[in-house]
Amino acid sequence: MAKWDDIYCSLCETILTTGTRVHNRTGIDTIKIPSTHFQLDVGQEFPILTTKQLFIRQAVLEMLWIYQAQSNDVRWLQERNVHIWDEWEIDENGDWKDVKTGKVLRHFDPSMAHTIGTAYGYVVKKYGLIDRLIQSLQETPEDRRRVVSLWQDAEMETAVLPSCVWSSEWDITDGKLNVWVHQRSCDVPLGLPFNVTQYAVLMKMLAQVCHLEVGTLDWSIKDAHIYVNQIEGIQEQLSRWHENGSYEAPTLWLNPKVEDFYQFDNSKELKDIRLEGYRHMGKISMPIAQ
């Protein structure tokens, strides 16, 4: 059975049974708990949910958009048939609008059209975050200062959505690459499954190009929540878990010939990565809150 499914479904159950209902900026209430933490041994099990289908192509391409392409341009994703950021795209007039009502939520300089402003990949590129991380992993394995922060105060005012997964800390212990990821706010039904799988893939890619083994992924969340219009979908997933448990975790294959992080294929086909033996219990549709 997949340990990640057990951790994830237990978290969802905890939120629904002990959480507090609160209002938030989206206008859709959430059930939340103030914090949580879990650890996964990615060297032993690749974390991707089996109690519902996760579309790894979209998840990996979003991660590569941020850390490899270092882009904030939503069209990069759209060209690859990934539409998870469409609702945060600034239009040609510099407006970020409510997709349902057309109301202008914020106005930006029109030069930021088709982007999400100064967030995510923009920050990675401006501050050279991934290059410094790779250099440190390759040249100074004992380094204790590998903090990759997507939360830069200078960029907050011109970001459509400040980074939710906002920082990661990396270390090498006994030849294994480990990371601790911090998330300031977490849409548990939709965001968390994507995010955990993304960082597990990033770990394995960096470990490969830096000639390291893969170790543990620690994950801490401040404000772990479920939107009230997602409860039905989560209850369906929990029902599957209680009745059937989970399937065995699949194996992630990376092209062993790739020795440079920037050489992993980021085309629509994602040629250098695939899941082997992925069994899941099917898709569960849940709404996203803009």
Residue 256 lies in a domain: yes
CB 203 within 8 A of CB 137: no
Q: Kindly state whether residue 74 falls inside one of the protein's structural domains.
A: yes
The CB-based long-range contact list for 87-96 (8 Å cut-off, 24+ gap) reads 87/288, 87/290, 88/116, 88/160, 88/161, 88/290, 89/114, 89/115, 89/116, 90/114, 90/115, 90/116, 90/117, 90/160, 96/160
- Residue 282 domain-assigned (yes or no): no
In the prediction, which pLDDT does 290 show? 84
164 is catalytic: yes
For residue 88, what pLDDT is reported?
Answer: 96
In angstroms, rounded to a whole number, what is the distance separating the alpha carbons of residues 216 and 41? 4
The two structure tokens encoding residue 192: 């968390």
**232 belongs to a structural domain:** yes
Contacts of 144 (CB under 8 A, 6+ apart): 171
Determine the pLDDT at residue 147.
98
Instruction: Identify the pLDDT of residue 1.
Output: 86
Looking at residue 144, what is its pLDDT? 97
Q: Tell me the C-alpha distance between 58 and 72, whole Å.
A: 16
Tokens encoding 111: 């030069």
Residue 71's contacts (CB-CB under 8 Å, 6 or more residues apart) are 65, 121, 122, 125
What pLDDT, on a 0 to 100 scale, did the predictor assign at position 76? 98
Contacts (Cβ under 8 Å, ≥6 apart) of 63: 198, 199, 201, 202
What local confidence, expressed as pLDDT, does residue 100 receive?
86
User: Is 184 inside a domain boundary?
Assistant: yes
Would residue 92 count as lying in a domain?
A: yes
Q: pLDDT value at position 99?
A: 87
> What's the confidence (pLDDT) of residue 129?
98
For the chain, the maximum distance between any two Cα atoms, rounded to a whole number of angstroms, is 54
For 71, 193, 280, 285, the CA distances from 54, given in Å and listed in that order, are: 23, 7, 8, 11
- This prediction has a pTM of 0.97
Domain that holds residue 191: 3-211+225-276
- Tell me what pLDDT residue 155 has: 97
CATH number, domain at 10?
Answer: 3.30.572.10
For residue 118, count other CB atoms closer than 10 A to its CB.
21
Strand, helix or coil at 45? coil
Q: 4 vs 11, 53, 170, 241, 250, CA distance in Å?
A: 11, 13, 21, 12, 12
Q: Are 143 and 173 in contact (CB under 8 A)?
A: no
d(CA 34, CA 224): 6
Give, for all 290 residues of the chain, the pLDDT tens digit: 899 999 999 999 999 999 999 999 999 999 999 999 999 999 999 999 999 999 999 999 999 999 999 999 999 999 999 999 999 999 999 999 998 899 999 999 999 999 999 999 999 999 999 999 999 999 999 999 999 999 999 999 999 999 999 999 999 999 999 999 999 999 999 999 999 999 999 999 999 999 999 999 999 999 999 999 999 999 999 999 999 999 999 999 999 999 999 999 999 999 999 999 999 999 999 999 98
Using DSSP's 3-state secondary structure scheme, residue 221 falls into strand
145 in any annotated domain: yes
The answer to whether residue 219 is domain-embedded is no
Residue among 9, 12, 164, 186 flagged as catalytic: 164
Distance CA 209, CA 36 (A): 31
Total tally of structural domains belonging to the chain: 1
Residue 211 corresponds to which amino acid? H
Contact 197, 48 (CB under 8 A): yes
